[in-house]
Every structure is written in C-alpha cells, then in structure tokens.
Amino acid sequence: MTHSHPEFVQEDPWRIFRIMAEFVDSFETMSHVGPAVTVFGSARTKPSDPYYKASVELARGLAKHHLAVITGGGPGIMAAANKGAAEAKGRSVGLNIELPFEQSGNRYVNVPINFHYFFSRKVCFVKYSMGFVFMPGGFGTLDEFFEVLTLVQTHRISRFPLILFGKKYWSGLMKWMAASLEGGGLISPGDLELLTVTDDVQEAIDVIMDYRRRVGPPKTLPPAFV
C-alpha cells in the first residue's frame, strides 16, 4: 500500500527549485568577483567602536591589494568592511540574508546578492574566499568561525588564513579551546595553530598577502563540499 505525502508534493519540489536558483544566481555573480577575503563580525557594532574602525581600515587595505571583500551585507562590522572596500574603489560584496529582525542591506555594497537560505549563503562565503577574518561578533560569527575552522581542520578546504581580530575578545575562547579541547584530546595538537590572533590591521593583511604569494587564489572547492 502506498501513502501519499501531500506536503512534499505541494511544497518540497518548489523549495528545491528555489535552492537551486539561489546557487545558480550566486555562483554566476561570484564567479566574476576574483580573489576575495571574507570578513565576519557583529551586525550590532557601532561606527564609534574601535573594531568598526579597524574593519574599515582592514578592508581598505585588502582592496588596495586588489582583493574583493565579502561580508554578510548587513550593518555593523559588515557595513564597516564594505565601506572600506568601496572607499578604496574595490569590489564590495554583500551576501545578505533575509531575517525577521536586525539584518538589512548596507549602502556600501557594490556587488549585492540576496539569500533566503543560510546554507547556500555559507557555501558562497567559503567557495569564493582565500582568507577569513573574524571580528568580534555573536552567535552568527561564532557559527561561521567554527564551520570554516572545521573545514580547514578536516582538509575539506585548503589551509586558508583564519584570523581572529581582537585579542581581548578572543583570548577567553582560545584559552578554553587549549585547556578543554586540546588538553582533553578532543582536537589534535597543533590544530590551534591554524589560527592567527591579532590586534594589528597590517599584520592581518600581511598574513593574507603572504598566503596569496605562496599559494595563489583558490581555483575551486573539493567536489564533496559543493
């Protein structure tokens, strides 16, 4: 005896098409962006905050080295990074997500892409970046941090620069990971060396540029990821 599933018949095929459309549209746009660095961070950071100002400076410096800057397209740190890239006449990419609160596109983006699904947006962050900078942020920033770190640790993507900007903000997490994760044998010795922690904008830029000189921009992700 067969059972019909009206919910699937009526909803899921159209949802699959919408997911496919997000990937097709975003891949088409991002394929023309060129080498890029993603900057993550809080949507709630104010322009007067030192990390906002550092994000502007960082993105401006990356754009001057002909690197596109990718953010989540919203306010706060995202707007700061997009602002720096745009001021330097660089490509300022915003991968904006539809949220019921907090998120809205910022005016500094010159390559806008809108997403309904978090997972398709995350693929674009990773697929088209050759480095990642994590400014102070909340749950979303931590989610993105651990996801990218896991992909590098498990060799699903290359050993791209992973930069934690803000020693005061990240020091507690680093100490906990060293004591509880590495100390408890839950990660391998040396895994924390995948990370660079700094308060220096120029050091962050230098780490990324050194990687680009040594390795070059990414060609593509492993098929299993995309």
Report the run of H or E that residue 198 belongs to, with start and end: strand 195-198
The reply to whether 217 falls in a domain is: no
Domain count, the chain: 1
- For residue 225, the model assigns a pLDDT of 44
How far apart (Å, rounded) are the C-alpha atoms in residues 222 and 226? 7
Q: How far is CA 140 from CA 4, 62, 72, 171, in A?
A: 38, 23, 10, 18
How far apart (Å, rounded) are the C-alpha atoms in residues 37 and 70? 6
The reply to whether 26 falls in a domain is: no
The reply to whether 220 falls in a domain is: no
Q: How many CB atoms lie within 10 A of CB 124?
A: 22
The three-state secondary structure class of 1 is coil
- For residue 191, the model assigns a pLDDT of 97
The reply to whether 5 falls in a domain is: no
- For residue 100, the model assigns a pLDDT of 64
Nearest alpha carbon to residue 196 among 180, 184, 209: 209
Q: In the chain, which stretches have pLDDT less than 70?
A: 1-10, 99-104, 216-226
The reply to whether 17 falls in a domain is: no
Q: Which residue range(s) make up the domain with 81?
A: 36-212
Output the six-digit token pair for 165.
Answer: 């900007």
- For residue 93, the model assigns a pLDDT of 97
- For residue 14, the model assigns a pLDDT of 82
Report the run of H or E that residue 67 belongs to, with start and end: none
The reply to whether 130 falls in a domain is: yes
The reply to whether 10 falls in a domain is: no
Predicted confidence (pLDDT) per residue in 81-110, tens digit: 999 999 999 999 999 987 666 556 799 999
Residue 48, C-beta contacts closer than 8 angstroms, at least 6 positions apart:
none
The reply to whether 69 falls in a domain is: yes
Angular region, 76: left φ>0, alpha ψ -120 to 50, beta rest: left
Write the single-letter amino acid at 19.
I
CATH number at residue 138: 3.40.50.450
Q: How far is CA 137 from CA 17, 57, 166, 226, in A?
A: 33, 18, 11, 27
Q: Which residues are 36's β-sheet partners?
A: 68
